[in-house]
Amino acid sequence: MNLVLFDLDNTLLAGDSDYEWGQFLIARGVVDRAHYETRNRAFYEDYKAGQLDIYAFLAFALRPLATHPRAQLDAWHSEYMATRIQPMITQAARDLVKRHLDEADLVAVITATNSFVTAPIAREFGIPHLIATEPEIVNGEFTGEVTGTPCFREGKITRLEQFLHLQGTRLDCLTSSRFYSDSLNDLPLLEKVRHPVAVDPDPTLLAHATAHGWPVMSLRGATP
């Protein structure tokens, strides 16, 4: 069985869906600009530096989901997809995904960003599986809490192992495993798969990829 995994933010997308969801809420007047923008930016900088407290971030990021009905959130998300996400999807990214969908047995997005934000994005790419941080839902509405292990850093390995167990296999039993990512935060999982690929990598990942002979590519220009 061949497995292909894609990180989402700054890998398949030319931007960060979690950060842009926060900026969309600010622009829509859903959250207070002065308070939310400062914290959203600070968390994003912590993420890029590899210093994010994932539970503190999730307490912040999931709160707006708990304060609005699901129907309203879904309507906002449709607008967010059109105005924020579609411009971040390159043809090169679509072509790469299509190639692997045609060739691989299992293709999944694996992302720290919560599944409310990312499930429609995975569907836009035609990717059948999503492994993401899961916000808690009670009676069809979000509670603002997270359920299970956040899909972040070593948590991505835990969540991948759970996913593969449901598929009746394990990572070490696969014929091939490939993971595309841009981020130093994904080094734990990149080091687990057989074929790690650095995509428009941050400086730390670029240095690591170069030192270890990993392929480095870009989805911001021509089709790979």
Which residues carry out catalysis? 7, 9
> What does the DSSP assignment read for 81-115?
IIIIIGGGB-HHHHHHHHHHHHH-SEEEEEEEEEH
The whole-angstrom separation of Cα 84 and Cα 117 is 12
> What does the DSSP assignment read for the chain?
-EEEEE-IIIIIBSS-HHHHHHHHHHHTTSS-HHHHHHHHHHHHHHHHTT---HHHHHHHHSHHHHTS-HHHHHHHHHHHIIIIIGGGB-HHHHHHHHHHHHH-SEEEEEEEEEHHHHHHHHHHHT--EEEEEEEEEETTEEEEEEES--SSTHHHHHHHHHHHHHTT--GGG-SEEEEEE--GGGHHHHTTSSEEEEES--HHHHHHHHHHT--EE-SSSS--
The whole-angstrom separation of Cα 26 and Cα 37 is 7
